[in-house]
Structure 1
Amino acid sequence: MEQHQPLTTWYVLFGLTQVTTIALILVDANPLADRLSAVGLLVLNSLWFVGYGLKLMRNGIEDRRGLVYAAGSLALWAPAVWLTGNATFALFGLVPQIYMMMPVTWAFFPMAVFVFTPQLLTWLAGADPALPWPGALLIVGFSQAFGWAVSRIAQQNEQRGELLERIEALTLETERARWAAEIHDTLAQGYTSIITLLQGAQPNVELALRTARENLREARALVASNSPSPLDGSSLEDALRRLVSGVALPSTFRVIGDARPLATSAEVVLLRTVQEALTNVARHSGASRVDVVMRFDEDGVSLEVRDDGRGFGDAPEGFGLRGMRARLEQVGGTLSLSSDEGASVLVEVPL
């Protein structure tokens, strides 16, 4: 199993078992030479872990190198058990190491060898095993179950991590798309209006300055993640009227029916749609005038932007129109286009 979680807990476990085992060896009744030799073997075993096994654990390596580590660890630990039975306590740290460096199915066999080693050495020495054979079998079964459980937890953590990475990637992509739409609907359109107005020479300079100020205010609102600035402190009708008056063409704006309160999300969509439509008129239509009509009825509200230009023709929809449709879908609205004696953009949003 790959290791994608902090290993500090395991390091502490290994360190504590080694220190405890050494302490138990030093206080037992075996000859001093045997005790010191066993301690030396356990120290070498610790160095073998730090120099070789630790790298396998950190890198999540699960191949034959795990078997190499297990063989080297057994070669250093088994003689210590022969010298003093208290060295058996090191199993509490050695068995988990095996499962940290091998797949569960591989780890069973070296784990069983480690567990039965003290039994075999005691039997070879002509003494009765301190741990009955049924007890050893129970430890083997428990160790395998423990290794399987740890493996499942690690797999679930890995899957959870991959899911979180995908969610983060989708979130970033969605946020980029949102910012692209916001910039297109505000800054790019504002600068387009400024260029169009300045091309009309001196009479439009004052209007260009006002549009520039509005655009700067919009940029600050975007950075501060506020609501669209044309709506700040004013009604939707007032905001639309300001947008229409800022067009460098003869224009009209009128409201039909009794105005009704709208959700903020619907107001934002309507405002952005008109803003996009007016920008398209100024840039592409070649129109001489534009009219905007806002109509309230029992079912909802509609907005129509109509000009006397060349119409849409057969050109495919650009980023602006696709963005308008996407915004409208968020509030259950629809977008209709027609090119009868000019161009018409009709937006309908249910109440």
Structure 2
Amino acid sequence: MEQHRQLITWYVLFAITQATTLVIIVLDRDPLAERLAAAGLLVLNSLWFLGYGKKLVERGADDWRGFVYVAGSLATWAPAVWLTGNATFALFGLVPQIYMVLPLTWAVYPMAVFVFTPQVLTWLAGSDAALPWAAALLIIGFSQAFGWAISRIAQQNQQRGELLERIEALTIEAERARWSADIHDTLAQGFTSIITLLQGAQPNVGLALQTARENLREARALVASNAPSPLDGSSLEDALRRLVSGVALPSSFRVIGDPVPLPTAVEVVLLRTVQEALNNVTRHSGASRVDVVMRFDSDGVSLEVRDDGRGFGDALEGFGLRGMRARLEQVGGTLSLSSDEGASVLVEVPL
């Protein structure tokens, strides 16, 4: 969009210079035939740009085709200058085009040819130079400096565009990772619990239905980008207590210390961490019991999920544990694992 606006600006400049030059030529006192011929050549020059040069500018070709355009532009403009020196005013629109269709190191040579063309033609015609030679040299120097500045701006715009594209790609990747973690922490775990419960005795059917309903609320919360549904309208302690009571194992939940209000981001991370830890207990530990302790003290808040299962052993961390660490890093928390008489997952978040 930014590049499009810049091109429109250059097109307007070219149109204004061409129109102004045409008016000056038509209103001059030169013979009518010469004025009409010069005006016709200038119109042909404009058509050459619209038919060929404009495509090169928009494609950013910067190759041999730029020389073809420059040669055609010179061939339609130089005769107009021969007929009337007033056609020299078109230089203000033609010189920038050279830098738009050729690399900076190449553009200086045809640009110098364009600037010196009026000087040479008026000298051959036996007339005074259309521009003082010092002014012509000044125009060449200014045009090259201006072309360098435009080139730098274009390069910076390109780098900025590439950076924005990279940021957008990283944002999308991060969002996908967040969704993957949310789905893993909620829906996948919930449905795993349902399967485990349904594989047990008939009394577990009611608990399975409750878990299914909670996962349905989770799905709706994820789509709406809301906080996790277990937190809706309740405290973190109550949400954790419900999670622990829903485990298909003997379980307990305790709070030690005086609870303090926690930032929403911290509550979400703690809730998701306990969900993942409980899921690991039911799926992998072979435990007969799980206990969750939440502790508030002067340093912060901690959560420990401990079971009496087989422990972690030499198993590598899977997606769930990596997701835990990633979430905790976002709120400055840490994750500790131990396998002393079972398995323990300790989460600590400073406040």
TM-score by length of 2: 0.94
User: Percent identity, aligned pairs only?
Assistant: 83
User: Distance between the aligned counterparts of 2:320 and 2:248, measured in 1?
Assistant: 20
Could you tell me which residue of structure 2 aligns to residue 278 of structure 1? 278
Structure 1 SS opposite 2:227 = coil
Instruction: Determine the structure 1 residue equivalent to 2:317.
Output: 317
Pairs within 5 Å for 1:109-120: 109-120=109-120
Higher RCO structure, 1 or 2 (CA under 8 Å, sep 6+): 1
Asked if the contact 1:295/1:301 (under 8 Å) is kept, the reply is: yes
Matching residue's letter, 2:341 = E
Greater than 4 Å deviation, 4+ residue runs: none
Aligned to 2:46: 46
Mapping 1:71-82, distance limit 5 Å? 71-82=71-82
Give the aligned residue type for 1:255. V
The corresponding residue for 2:307 is 307
Give the equivalent residue in structure 1 for 2:33: 33
Q: Is the 8 A contact 2:250 2:289 kept in 1?
A: yes
After superposition, where does 1:66-215 map in structure 2 within 5 Å?
Answer: 66-215=66-215
The answer to whether the Cα contact below 8 Å between 1:95 and 1:111 also exists between their aligned partners in 2 is yes
- 1:340 shift after superposition: 2.5
Given the alignment of the two structures, is residue 269 of structure 1 paired with residue 269 of structure 2, yes or no?
A: yes
> Structure 1: how far apart are the matches of 2:47 and 2:299?
79
Separation in 1, partners of 2:69, 2:261: 73
Quick one: distance in 1 between partners of 2:194 and 2:131? 89
The alpha-carbon deviation at position 241 of structure 1 amounts to 0.6
**Structure 2: gaps (5+ residues):** none
Q: Provide the secondary structure at the position in 1 that maps to 2:288.
A: coil
Query: How far is the alpha carbon of 1:4 from its aligned partner?
Result: 4.4
Aligned pair count?
349
Q: Secondary structure at the match of 2:261?
A: coil
After superposing the two structures, state which structure 1 stretch, 21-30 or 176-185, moved more: 21-30
1:10 aligns with 2:16: no
CA distance in 1, matches of 2:8, 2:305: 65
Which one-letter code corresponds to 1:318 in the other structure?
G
Q: Residue 202 of structure 1: SS of its match in structure 2?
A: coil
- Structure 1, residues 134-183: CA drift from partner, whole Å, max 9, x if none? 12222222222211111111111111111111111111111111111111
Q: Which amino acid aligns with 1:298?
A: S
Q: Tell me the amino acid that sits aligned with residue 139 of structure 1.
A: I
Structure 1 residue 57: Cα displacement? 0.7
Q: Secondary structure at the match of 2:50?
A: helix
Hey, what's the Cα distance between the residues in 1 that align with 2:114 and 2:260? Answer: 80
Task: Tell me if structure 1 keeps the 8 A contact 2:88–2:130.
Answer: no
In structure 2, what is the Cα distance between the partners aligned to 1:147 and 1:258? 69
**Equivalent residue for 1:237?**
237
1:216 aligns with 2:208: no
Partner of 2:226: 226
State the match for 1:326 in structure 2.
326
Whether the aligned pair in 2 keeps the contact of 1:269 and 1:327 (CA below 8 Å) is yes
Report the Cα offset of residue 201 of structure 1: 3.6
**Contact between 1:14 and 1:94, CA under 8 Å: does it hold in 2?**
yes
- Residue 290 of structure 1 is matched in structure 2 by 290
Unaligned runs of 5+ in 1: none
CA contact (8 A) 2:334 2:349 kept: yes
Question: In structure 2, the residue corresponding to 1:260 is in which secondary structure?
Answer: coil
User: Are the counterparts in 2 of residues 45 and 76 from structure 1 also a CA contact under 8 Å?
Assistant: yes
CA offsets per residue over residues 42-82 of structure 1, 9 Å max, x none?
22212221222112111101122212211221111111111
For residues 216-273 of structure 1, the C-alpha deviation after alignment (integer angstroms, 9 at most, x for no partner) is: 1111111111112211221121111100111111111122233333332222222111
SS of 1:306's partner is: strand
Offset at 1:298? 3.0
For 1:258-289, what per-residue CA distance to the aligned partner results, in whole angstroms no more than 9, with x for missing partners?
33333322222221111111111111122222
Return the letter of the residue paired with 1:277. Answer: A
- Determine if the alignment matches structure 1 residue 63 to structure 2 residue 63: yes
**Distance in 2 separating the partners of 1:288 and 1:332:** 33
- Paired with 2:311 and 2:342, the residues of 1 have a C-alpha distance of 5
Q: Name the CA shift for 1:212/1:119 in 2 (closer, same or farther; >3 Å).
A: same
**How far apart, CA to CA, are the structure 2 residues paired with 1:261 and 1:28?**
84
Q: Which moved more, 1:149-158 or 1:294-303?
A: 294-303
Q: Tell me the distance in 1 between the aligned counterparts of 2:127 and 2:258.
A: 102
